[in-house]
Structure formats: C-alpha cells, structure tokens
Structure 1
C-alpha cells in the first residue's frame, strides 16, 4: 500500500497534469492536444463536468503531486428497480508511479465511492488495444459480461 495518497475532485489548475496523463500512451497521443495554454475545449469540458452532480473527476496526489486520475459518472437507470450504476473512465497513473500498486488503490477508492453513492455496479470500458489494462481490470474482479459498441458521430 502506498501511504499518503490524497483523493480530491479536480480543479481547473489540475487540467495540464490530467491532459498530460491522458496523452501519455500511443492511443491518447493520437487524440489529445497537450499544448500550452490548453485548448479551450478542455476548459469547456471541465466546466460541464464540475457543474454536473453526477460527475466526479478525481485526482490522486502522492506527497502533494498529482500521480493519477479517474472520472466517475453516476448513471440513474430504470433497470435494476431504479438502480444507480457508476461508470469509471479515463483512469491514468503518471509514468513515474506505474507498477507500484497505485492503480489498485485508486480502484479501491472508486469502488468505495460508488458503494457510498448506492450504486449496484461499477462498470468500465477499455480499448481492445490495451491488453495490459484488460488484464489489470480482470485482476480487480471486472468481467467482460457485455459486448460494447461505439459509433463515432464526428471525425
């Protein structure tokens, strides 16, 4: 276990570190724009997230520095008798902290948050081009029970 981890909701000042983590892999490097200053699209998205009570963009600090991030969305449903489910996306650990158990601790925290909110399931999607991520999620007890599909709406 890594001591001294702090979990908190992200602020606008955290965006450069978050976008840097999102861009720090072959897939993210193709779709993110890590520029200074950050493009306005990230600021607009952050504003929508912070003003939606069903969104939690979380940063994880280790000794005062951002070491990881994830985005929880709480989805109300009619299924499961009006149950609430949580979706976790954009899970990233900074390169300097990978392979040290931080990801597992982040998921334990996310599971705790989803349980506190009354969710009956925590779900995620991951790109099929990330086999190590899939193995990691399976090691945490996630199962590929459904077939996910996407349709791009813009190029």
Structure 2
C-alpha cells in the first residue's frame, strides 16, 4: 500500500513472517512507527559531520597551510560529496521501512548480501578504532593532569607508534 507522501507499506505481514528468511530485526518497520521527518535526517547528518575527528582534520588542514575558510570549505565539500551516496543508500529504508541488509538482498541475493554487510562491519570497526584512540588519548591527557607522575613512566610501546 502506497501512502500519498511516497512511503510504502506491506498490506499483510503474515506473508513474510512465515518465510525462513524472516527475522524480527529485518522486518519492515510499520508506517505508524516511521516518525522521522526531514529535520531528524538533517540533524543526524549534521551531528555526524560535527565530531572530534572532523575538528582534528580541520586543524590538520590549517597546520598544513590552508586558511581557516579553506579548511572549512574542504570539510563542507567532503561532507556534501559523502551525503549523495548516503542519501541514495538510505532512500529504500525510508520509503519501504527496510534495513540495509534487506536492501542489499535485492542486489546481491540472500547469501551475497553478507559481503556488503561485512564491508560495513569492517568500516565500523575501523571508525570505532579511531574514536577509541582519540578517546583514550584524551583520557590519558586528563590522567596526566591529575597524576603527573604517569608521564614519566617508561614507554611500553616504541616511539614510532606515535602513541605519545
């Protein structure tokens, strides 16, 4: 059933719930539970663009010789370029209420959809590692303020690792 705003919903969920491929986590979200507006999506995108790694990138661009406005424009341009595939990737989810793994099944098949899911998981692990490194370094700097002696402990890792 198609609603006037373009969203689509299944008329009868019993047809898919009997499938061996059915999973409650992968089931389409009913239209009454899809309450995000354009504001919610814009706020999500903006909050993903404003994070500590972005600030670090901006400071790195400035220290590499850019003006502040050049660094800001570069980051804005990069986020805008990334926005295009994100919108294309999210459109089926917002229209049909399906998660990415179900969307990937249409292109890759049931078994093949594990490949893009694995690729997303690898990227997520990398991003988690970056965030953890930044957070760990911040905590270490706070501990150095409270316990100055920690800075004089012998290095556990070689200097080439760049952990200090």
What's the TM-score, normalizing by structure 2? Answer: 0.27
Quick check: which one's helix share is greater? 2
Quick check: which one's strand share is greater? 1
Relative contact order, CA 8 A, sep 6+: which one is greater?
Answer: 2
What's the TM-score, normalizing by structure 1? Answer: 0.28
